[in-house]
């Protein structure tokens, strides 16, 4: 008699293979590159949006520094403040879900690679550490995700571990949404306070900081494009060497073989 099939494991296996690894990595890489580009654009054009459209800034760059900048443009404008806060929460949610999916999609593969002897991933994604993170997430998942979103430096690793540990999506969304709201409110409030105490700050951002930030962002974009082109060139080079290697055999003269 055949053993009963675990439908949950089967469904999980099918779900894991809906996208091939290459396609999933390509989509994740495209998102990361897209956000890198928009972040640099936001750094440069953010000061130009303070008067009319500060709510656009989080869509381009949702970092704490740019939210402080956006906060200086929402003083005395409650509608703009609410719109900017909602834009920040929306972008935080989109980025958080993508990182959660990345951890869920590739976390088990990193754990398998890390378990191999001499693997370079052993120090980053060791199975014992993953198991410890799973227990931690199971017990303190919502507060950890909350503070991981509020404290910007911890956002990336916390979201990846949340997905890799199999944290329930509902619990993740509760913690992450609350954290995104606190993150947006905190930095927009800091921007408003700064504008109230230093009224010259907004003009300095627009007139002095803005042009330099735009130049820096353009330089960073050029470096990013060059890095991508060099990476593609290195990937194609082994294929070209493989195609030219067989042609060396027939080129030998008879005296060499005799």
* Whole-structure pTM value: 0.69
Q: What is the pLDDT along the chain (258 residues), one digit of tens a residue?
A: 444 434 344 344 444 447 777 788 888 888 888 888 888 788 778 778 888 899 999 999 898 888 988 888 888 889 999 999 999 999 999 999 999 998 888 877 776 666 666 665 555 566 666 667 677 777 778 898 999 899 888 888 888 888 887 888 999 999 999 999 999 999 999 988 988 787 776 666 666 665 666 666 667 667 777 776 776 666 555 555 555 555 444 444 444 444
Residue 71, classed as helix, strand or coil, is helix
φ, ψ (nearest 5 deg) of residue 118 = 75, 15
CB 165 within 8 A of CB 133: yes
Report the pLDDT value the prediction gives residue 256, as an integer from 0 to 100.
47
From residue 89, give the alpha-carbon distance in Å to each of 1, 59, 82, 189.
54, 10, 11, 15
- 192 contacts: CB under 8 Å, gap ≥ 6: 71, 72, 74, 75, 81
The closest alpha carbon to 101, from 184, 174, 35, 16, belongs to 16
Looking at every residue in the chain, the average pLDDT score rounds to: 76
Q: Which two tokens stand for residue 238?
A: 């082994």
Q: Round to whole Å and give the CA distance between 235 and 123.
A: 26
Residue with tokens 């495209």: 30
Looking only at Cα atoms, what is the longest distance across the chain? 91
């Amino acid at each position: 008699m055949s053993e009963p099939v675990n439908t949950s494991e089967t469904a999980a296996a099918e779900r894991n293979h809906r996208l091939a690894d290459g396609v999933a990595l390509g989509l994740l890489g495209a998102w990361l590159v897209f956000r890198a580009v928009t972040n640099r654009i936001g750094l440069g054009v953010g000061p130009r949006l303070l008067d009319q459209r500060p709510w656009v800034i989080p869509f381009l760059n949702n970092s704490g520094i740019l939210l402080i900048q956006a906060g200086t443009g929402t003083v005395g404008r409650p509608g703009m403040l609410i719109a900017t806060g909602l834009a920040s929460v929306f972008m935080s949610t989109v980025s958080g879900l993508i990182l959660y999916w990345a951890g869920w999609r590739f976390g088990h593969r990193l754990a398998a690679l890390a378990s191999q002897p001499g693997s370079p991933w052993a120090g980053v994604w060791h199975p014992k550490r993953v198991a410890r993170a799973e227990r931690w997430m199971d017990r303190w998942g919502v507060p950890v995700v909350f503070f991981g979103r509020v404290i910007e430096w911890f956002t990336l690793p916390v979201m990846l571990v949340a997905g890799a540990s199999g944290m329930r999506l509902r619990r993740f969304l509760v913690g992450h949404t609350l954290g995104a709201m606190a993150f947006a409110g905190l930095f927009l409030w800091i921007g408003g306070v700064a504008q109230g105490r230093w009224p010259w700050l907004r003009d300095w951002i627009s007139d002095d900081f803005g042009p330099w930030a735009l130049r820096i962002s353009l330089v960073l974009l050029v470096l990013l494009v060059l890095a991508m082109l060099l990476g593609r060139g290195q990937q194609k080079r082994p294929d070209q060497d493989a195609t030219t290697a067989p042609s060396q055999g027939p080129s030998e003269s008879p005296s060499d073989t005799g």
